[in-house]
């Protein structure tokens, strides 16, 4: 459904995305996951035809995004980083305006507006002026405008950013409801968002894809590794001491008291680590095993230092910080 081949975008001499390749099948819900600045919005602007790449190809339903822009725009509903809302219009008038812009046949406009108002639970505010709506409702209007042409593909750029926890939960519910009737690609820097809504993930870091697979497979990449989170009472630099324990692969310190220790899952080093911490006089506040496999993989691919080069996935040194 979505096909991206060797896609590269340079802004001046800065490479925002570097030779991306991925395919998204019909019905998939894919999370484009990466820290800020990874290149998520750039990728989305290109596959929706809003920006041209420096090189490479993007196709939607077999149509090249730049050779057949009209065909592609008909197939896609896009929620950009900043939705292009006309604040002085009512919700309903705005949706009609977008439907007309997108050349929805006039016989279908009314039906499509009703459907997208219903799906995004905006029926009660249809006559309200957009300016007066809360941020959560404005975001729903953004999604409603993406839906109003009844597109096969939905491209949602950080759909929950800036919302409060209740609104986040509502938007996630909405995305789950849209599953099945649309192929969806959404971007996020929040890992739990991908786990809550997607069946596949593409992890992007500094403009490159560092992993892409089903959530299950990505979690399996971490097999053989265990991460321990350590908190000490006193600020003593014990990184070197921890690294010397046999079986420990890497230690990273986020501050003087907090460490992330990566080790092989074949060795249970909890006792050894606790003993060394106590011996050093740093004092033990917490030593817990990380329970979230996907989080381990994500951290390792985007922030980690201890990547094992023997592992068979698309990780190279140059993509790591
Ligand atoms: N219009 C632009 N001009 C120059 N650099 C840009 C522009 N837009 C984005 N960038 C840079 O490209 C990189 C990727 O940005 P972006 O695609 O917005 O990332 P993300 O959406 O993952 O946060 C960043 O380093 C960003 O600073
Ligand atoms: Mg972005």
The DSSP secondary structure of 48-80, one letter per residue, reads TTSS--SEEEEEETTEETTT-HHHHHHHEEEE-
Ligand 1 — pocket residues by CB below 6 A?
Answer: 11, 14, 16, 34, 36-42
User: What secondary structure letter does DSSP report for 251?
Assistant: E
Pocket test for ligand 1, best of 12, 15, 42, 43 (most atoms within 8 A of CB): 42
Pocket test for ligand 1, best of 39, 51, 206 (most atoms within 8 A of CB): 39
The confidence score (pLDDT) of residue 225 equals 75
Q: Which atom of ligand 1 approaches the CA of 204 most closely?
A: 22
Task: Work out the mean pLDDT of the chain and round it to a whole number.
Answer: 87
Q: Is the pLDDT of residue 312 over 60?
A: no
pLDDT digits 0-9 by tens, 186-214: 999 888 889 889 999 999 999 999 989 88
40 CA to centre of ligand 2 in angstroms: 5
Banded model confidence at residue 303, pLDDT cuts 50, 70, 90: low
First and final C-alpha spacing in the chain: 33
Q: Is the pLDDT of residue 317 over 60?
A: no
- In order of 31, 44, 302, the CA distances from 34 in angstroms are 9, 13, 8
Q: Which atom of ligand 1 approaches the CA of 35 most closely?
A: 22
The confidence score (pLDDT) of residue 314 equals 34
16 CA to centre of ligand 1 in angstroms: 6
- Percent of the chain at pLDDT above 70? 92
Least confident range from 104-108, 139-143, 246-250: namely 246-250
Residue 308 corresponds to which tokens in the numbers above? 């094992």
Rounded mean pLDDT, 168-187: 92
What pairs with residue 23 in β-bridges? 3
- In order of 214, 229, 265, the CA distances from 219 in angstroms are 9, 18, 14
Q: Is the pLDDT of residue 41 over 70?
A: yes
| SS3 of residue 29 by DSSP | strand
Domains and CATH numbers, the chain: 2-215 (3.40.50.300), 220-319 (3.30.70.100)
The confidence score (pLDDT) of residue 222 equals 67
| CB burial of residue 158 (10 Å; 0-12, 13-18, 19+) | buried
Banded model confidence at residue 24, pLDDT cuts 50, 70, 90: very high
- Measured distance CA(139)–CA(156) in Å, rounded: 11
Are 142 and 91 within 8 A, CB to CB?
no
Q: Which atom of ligand 1 approaches the CA of 45 most closely?
A: 17
301 CA to centre of ligand 1 in angstroms: 20
- Percent of the chain at pLDDT above 90? 62
Three-state SS string over 188-232 comes to ECCHHHHHHHCCEEEEEECCEEEEEEEHHHHHHHCCCEEEEEEEE
100 CA to centre of ligand 2 in angstroms: 28
The confidence score (pLDDT) of residue 113 equals 97
Pocket test for ligand 1, best of 7, 10, 11, 80 (most atoms within 8 A of CB): 11
Handedness of CA 315, 318, 319, 321 (dihedral sign): positive
Are 79 and 140 within 8 A, CB to CB?
no
In degrees and rounded to multiples of 5, residue 162 shows phi and psi of: 80, 5
Among candidates 49, 22, 66, which has minimal Cα distance to 208?
22
pLDDT digits 0-9 by tens, 114-125: 999 999 999 999
8 CA to centre of ligand 1 in angstroms: 13
Between 305 and 287, name the one with better pLDDT: 287
The confidence score (pLDDT) of residue 89 equals 96
The confidence score (pLDDT) of residue 165 equals 87
Q: Is the pLDDT of residue 49 over 60?
A: yes
Residues 6+ apart with CB under 8 A from 82: none
Banded model confidence at residue 291, pLDDT cuts 50, 70, 90: low
- Measured distance CA(280)–CA(234) in Å, rounded: 10
204 CA to centre of ligand 2 in angstroms: 12
Among candidates 155, 294, 290, 158, which has minimal Cα distance to 213?
294
The tokens 């698309």 sit on which residue?
A: 314
| SS3 of residue 139 by DSSP | helix
Rounded mean pLDDT, 29-34: 95
* Ligand number nearest to the C-alpha of 46: 1
Residue bearing the CA closest to ligand 1, atom 11: 16
Banded model confidence at residue 227, pLDDT cuts 50, 70, 90: confident
Pocket test for ligand 1, best of 37, 45, 82, 155 (most atoms within 8 A of CB): 37
- Measured distance CA(188)–CA(33) in Å, rounded: 5
* Ligand number nearest to the C-alpha of 158: 2
Rounded mean pLDDT, 48-63: 95
Are 146 and 183 within 8 A, CB to CB?
no
Residue bearing the CA closest to ligand 1, atom 14: 39
């Amino acid at each position: 459904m979505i096909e991206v081949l060797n896609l590269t975008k340079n802004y001046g001499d800065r490479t925002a995305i570097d030779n991306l390749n991925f395919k998204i099948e019909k019905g998939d819900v894919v999370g484009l996951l990466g820290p800020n600045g990874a290149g998520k919005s750039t990728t989305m602007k290109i596959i929706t035809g809003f920006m041209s790449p420096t090189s490479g190809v993007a196709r939607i339903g077999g149509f090249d995004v730049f050779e057949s822009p009209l065909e592609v725009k008909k197939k896609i509903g896009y929620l950009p980083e900043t939705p292009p809302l006309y604040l002085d219009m009512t919700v309903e008038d705005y949706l009609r305006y977008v439907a007309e812009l997108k050349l929805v046949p006039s016989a279908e406009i009314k039906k499509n507006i009703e459907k997208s108002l219903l799906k995004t639970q905006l029926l009660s505010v249809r006559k309200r002026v957009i300016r007066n709506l809360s941020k959560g409702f404005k975001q729903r209007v953004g999604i409603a405008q993406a839906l109003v042409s009844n597109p096969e593909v939905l491209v949602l750029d950080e759909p929950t950013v800036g919302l409060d926890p209740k609104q986040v939960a509502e938007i996630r519910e909405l995305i789950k409801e849209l599953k099945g009737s649309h192929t969806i690609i959404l971007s996020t820097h929040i890992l739990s968002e991908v786990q809550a809504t997607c069946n596949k993930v593409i992890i992007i870091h500094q403009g490159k894809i560092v992993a892409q697979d089903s959530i299950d497979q990505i979690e399996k990449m971490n097999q053989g590794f265990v991460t321990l989170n350590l908190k000490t009472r006193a600020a003593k630099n014990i990184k070197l001491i921890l690294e010397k324990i046999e079986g420990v692969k890497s230690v990273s310190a986020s501050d003087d008291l907090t460490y992330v220790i990566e080790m092989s899952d074949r060795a249970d080093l909890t006792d050894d680590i606790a003993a060394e911490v106590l011996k050093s006089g740093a004092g033990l506040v917490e030593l817990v095993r990380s329970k979230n496999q996907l989080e381990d993989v994500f951290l390792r691919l985007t922030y980690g230092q201890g990547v094992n080069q023997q592992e068979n996935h698309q990780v190279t040194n140059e993509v790591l910080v």
